[in-house]
Amino acid sequence: MAASLNSSESDRSSLGGQSASSRSNNRSLRVAEKERRRNEAEDPFVLALKYFSVVEAGTPVVGNDDFENNLVLVERTAYSQGLSPEAISIMLEFAMSLRMGTAPCARVLKCLIPASVVPQEAVVRAAVWLSVGKIPISTQVLFIKWVLTVFDMIDAKDQLRAIYGFIFSFVTEENLCPFICHLLYLLTQKESVRVYRVRKLLELQSKLGRQPFLLHLLSLYKVFCPELVTLSIPSRMRGAFRNHVSPWKAALTAVQKRNGSLAGSSVSPALAVRDKSGSRKRKHCHLQLPALTSVASDGARSEQTSSRTLVPLAHLQSFDQLLKNVHRIELPAQMGSLLGSSVALQYLDCIQDESALLRLNFWLGCALHEEFLFCGDGATQTSEALQFLSRLLSAQHFLQEGFSSSDAFLYKFLNVWDGSLLRPQILCLLSNIPVIPSSQIRKLLFEPLTQLFFTSSLFFKCGLVECLNNMLLKWLTWHSVYALEDDLDISLNSHTSLNITLSGFKDSVMELIHFVGHLASVGLQLEGCHALLLSFVLDFYETVCDTFLKFGLPLVVMPPAGVFYPAFFATDPVSVDRLAHIMHRYKVNLTSAKRQEKQKEQAFHISRQTFQEFNHCVVFMVNCLWNSRMFYPGSDVQPGEELLLGSGVPRYWASFDFIHHPAFVSYALDFHQKCWPSRKEMDLSSIKDSKPWSWYLDYLFSQGFDGLKDFLKSNISRQAAAVDEQQR
Amino acid sequence: MSLLKPFSKLPGLNTANILLVENQEQLQHMLADVLVKETPLTVTVRLAKSLPLPVDESRPRIDLVVFIINLTSELSFQSAEDSLKYLDPGYFLGKVCFMVTNARHASVPTERLDALRRLAASLHCPLLFAEDQTPEGVIGAAERLLTILKVSAGVVPMTTALYLSNLTRCTLPPDIDQPSFD
């Protein structure tokens, strides 16, 4: 058995360390080969492998020093450099054949850390040993767990898929079932979904209850063949297969890191060529995306593709080629690789292949959970995580929507986030979250975010407001695209069956706007109305004020007083100008909403209160800036006359007009100097006269305060007309 | 064996005192190094393994008590829980917070985090998470503590510790494993 294995190995990779025979008839080569073999013969590791490949069945384990020494040697190599593909084959064969009984089996399995790839043949052969039936169940579980752990490193999956039915037969074994289901999930193709398999799984489900691992496999079956699976599957399921976390993972990572620089040279060229685009990347850094590889190994590929006429995505280089073959695409073995290839992303975008998205989401969910929520001992390498998230983000950016698994991950992650780990990436991911129903939004998003917002620095506050602004923009854009097609029932995401009504959507948007309003008011108060934070808040309200005209959503929400007054009393003219611009846009939106409401008598209705709030704000601004009447009946603050006189502020009612507002007083001074250069005495109130006043306004507008210009034009009709006349 | 009281002494001008309580004494030193570098405000950091503190008349008023809990250790959680009873109830009006490390570690049983959340929620205290493995994480954690400390020491105008804690106190998270949107 072992000998035949060796020869088949040598066919595959003639330069592999232990391959016995070279069929070359070149003499000098043969000499060199001899030399090499002599060197190898002295290598104790090679000897150890040789021992395991030829050891007789029935050799006792207890008191066998040879065995002990050799196994220790293999273990040491495995944990330091990992095992070569040939060594994996030999050791796996040794363990699973139980040549020395069941005792060493588990021990050997535990040290099977691959240095590069795992040969598929070895896995298939070992799987066959499972059915011989002498292996204890715990060891069988261990073996399947090992396969799951190294699944991404198995060099091809075609033969494993060929024995799908064989693997499926183990599903009835109760202890193995969760792990077998996971393995099947990774191997399932459309052809593997059969009626009798579905029936078997349903039968199991009625026996074991609605187990997540069964549901996950069934949901994949349902995607492939919806007519076979009539079962209703919950739209979001508990993360099912938690089978990765094991000592192997840690050992594997350690070995991969250590081998990082060596991998290129230590793997034989034959493998290197085949695997050039293969899982090499994943070897270096476990968080990097695997590269595109096709399912079948190279040798088998030619005949297989011709018979099934499928084109692996990895072979496509351009969009043109994708278009030509779009009806017969073969998905890669590792769905994660889709994220890294633009052609694959285009495929995902055009075809809306549900099974591809399901598998991709599954992979992504596992990867994100493992790396960010259930970390091992070694801290996650920030640079790796950074790269990974950037790739994910660029993929999401390309597809213009998030992945449901990354959303589910974020909801959990926000609850344990320190607010600074990978902040830009996490905030960016957060802004890609699709609309959440208003009943859930508070628990899922607002509560963790409130806690983070108020305990973090100013920069976090700014970042979060910006992120929520982007989120709102995406929601609104999404609405403006999909609402045209269907007025009431809009799908939450182009791939889920989750629907949300227009009023539900409006509720969610309103919740979000009110939430940011709350954060902004209190945040500005805590940070002493910091200009930076104010600027981000105004950014947000620039989006909010245009919801009706820009995005067609009949919803107008005014800023709370905690945002309006700090912006109005700001000492920098830019904030005041932007506030004026926002108020102007509110007016345009409200008037056009009112006009439409009258014309069409549509169902939508903007509440009276919104108009009142708006009028209140505008009246206050006009009174302050234009009429020099700080306090008037009906304003928010009405201190007593004596109190105002007692304050000793001269002409207190004019403190915030265009001339005396702290943001504009420097402009007034400058204007005064330019207007009357010969005057020695500064008298700002002389600007109030009608002629200099209109000049002063022109001067202000020439400084680029377009927001104020628009605001005045739309709100002060008489004067604006007069100014126009004067200009003519 | 005395209660630590929040209002028994007068505050110093432009000073803030923070007490870091950590059973394992790992993160508190790193945090202290960062905290004392804060310039406009004089920050005094006091370290303790657990409460109660020995009687010491010269100890200034403590503005914020931080319990640092390593989630991978049951002992750390137990010790913090035991220490809580040596605090005057007045502290729970915004002058106590919990800081958790290793929350994302695989070996943390979810029950422990849930128990801690319940504890923090019942005491109306904020629960902060910290990444103590990296220097950036420690600096980030120290910055967040400073944000709270400044408010509880009364140096941020227009706000009080009670007001802030009302906004930041821990809430029990939903069963996120199964967000059903129906």
- Give tens-digit pLDDT for A601-610: 655 678 888 9
Domains, in order of start, for chain B: 17-168 (3.40.50.300)
This model of the complex carries an ipTM of 0.92
Chain B residue numbers touching A440 (CB-CB < 8 A) = 174, 179, 181
Q: Report the distance separating Cα A225 and Cα A227, nearest Å.
A: 5
- Say whether B174 and A235 touch across the interface (CB within 8 A): no
Confidence of residue B83 (pLDDT cuts 50, 70, 90): very high
Calculate how close chain A gets to B61, using CA atoms only, in Å. Answer: 22
Q: Which of B66, B99, B104 to mutate to test the interface with A (most CBs of A within 10 A)?
A: B104
Rounded to an integer, what distance in angstroms lies between the CA atom of residue A556 and that of residue A561? 16
Residue of A415, A457, A526 with shortest CB distance to B159: A526
Check B137 against A421: CB less than 8 A apart. Answer: yes
Single-letter amino acid code for the residue at A574 = V
CA distance B116 to chain A (A): 12
pLDDT of residue A618: 92
Segment holding B111, helix H or strand E: helix B110-122
Supply the mean pLDDT for chain A: 78
Mutation choice for A interface testing from B147, B148, B150, B169 by most A CBs within 10 A: B147
**Whole-number pLDDT of residue A532:** 95
What's the rounded Cα separation, in Å, for the pair A297 and A550? 53
CA distance B128 to chain A (A): 7
Residue A524 distance to chain B (closest CA, Å): 11
> A433 to chain B: which residues are within 8 Å by CB?
none
What gap in Å lies between CA B122 and CA A296, rounded to an integer?
A: 57
Nearest by CB: B131 against A411, A418, A443: A418
Tell whether the model's pLDDT for residue B6 goes beyond 80.
yes
Q: What is the pLDDT of residues A101-149, one digit of tens each?
A: 777 888 888 888 888 888 888 888 888 888 776 788 888 888 888 888 8
Residue ranges of alpha helices (H) inside A483-572 are 502-526, 531-544, 547-551, 561-568
Question: How many other C-beta atoms can be found within 10 angstroms of the C-beta atom of residue B51?
Answer: 20
Which one of B38, B171, B180 makes the best mutation probe of the A interface by having the most chain A beta carbons within 10 Å?
B171
* B143 interfacial to chain A (CB closer than 8 Å): yes
CB contact under 8 A, B176 and A415: yes
Q: Which residue has the tokens 């995902």?
A: A348
**Bond prior to A312 in cis (omega within 30° of 0):** no
Residue of A nearest to B128 (CA): A418
- Considering only CB atoms, B140 lies closest to which of A237, A373, A418, namely A418
Residue among A415, A498, A525 whose CB faces B158 most closely: A525
- Of A365, A397, A504, A384, give the one whose Cα is nearest residue A441: A504
Taking the CA of residue A303 as centre, how many other CA atoms within 13 Å lie in the half-sphere pointing to its CB?
3
Q: Cβ contacts (< 8 Å) between B165 and chain A: which residues?
A: none
Q: Dump strand ranges (E) for A376-520.
A: 489-491, 499-501
pLDDT of residue B76: 92
pLDDT of residue A11: 41
Crossing angle for the helix pair B161-168 and A447-455, to the nearest 10 degrees: 140
Q: For A331-399, what is the HEC assignment?
A: CCCCHHHHHHCHHHHHHHHHHCCHHHHHHHHHHHHHHHHHHHHCECCCCCCHHHHHHHHHHHHHHHHHH
Chain A residues close to B137, C-beta within 8 Å: 418, 420-421
From residue A168, alpha-carbon distances to A149, A161, A181, A343, A372 in Å are 19, 11, 8, 33, 32
Query: How far is A543 from A554, CA to CA, in rounded Å?
Result: 14
Note whether A454 contacts B167, CB cutoff 8 Å.
yes
Distance from CA of A535 to the nearest CA of B (A): 21
B124 touches chain A (CB under 8 A): no
Chain A residues touching B168 at Cβ < 8 A: 450-451, 454-455
Residue B177 has pLDDT above 60, yes or no: no
Closest Cα partner for A216 from A343, A406, A363?
A363
A469 neighbors A539 (Cβ within 8 angstroms): yes
Interface residue B72 vs chain A (CB under 8 A): no
CA A284 to mean position of chain CA atoms: 22
- Looking at the complex, does the CB of residue B118 fall below 8 Å from at least one CB of chain A? no
Low-confidence ranges of chain A (pLDDT < 50): 1-24, 235-236, 238, 240, 261-286, 296-308, 486-497, 720-721, 723-728
| pLDDT value at residue A412 | 87
Cβ–Cβ gap A418/B179 under 8 Å: no
- Residue A610 CA to residue A504 CA, distance in Å, equals 20
Q: To probe the interface with B, which of A420, A436, A442, A521 has the most B CB atoms within 10 Å?
A: A420
Residue of B101, B148, B181 for testing the chain A interface, max A β-carbons within 10 Å = B181
Cβ-based burial of A196 (10 A; exposed 0-12, middle 13-18, buried ≥19): exposed
Cα–Cα distance between A362 and A217 in angstroms, integer?
A: 11
pLDDT of residue A32: 65
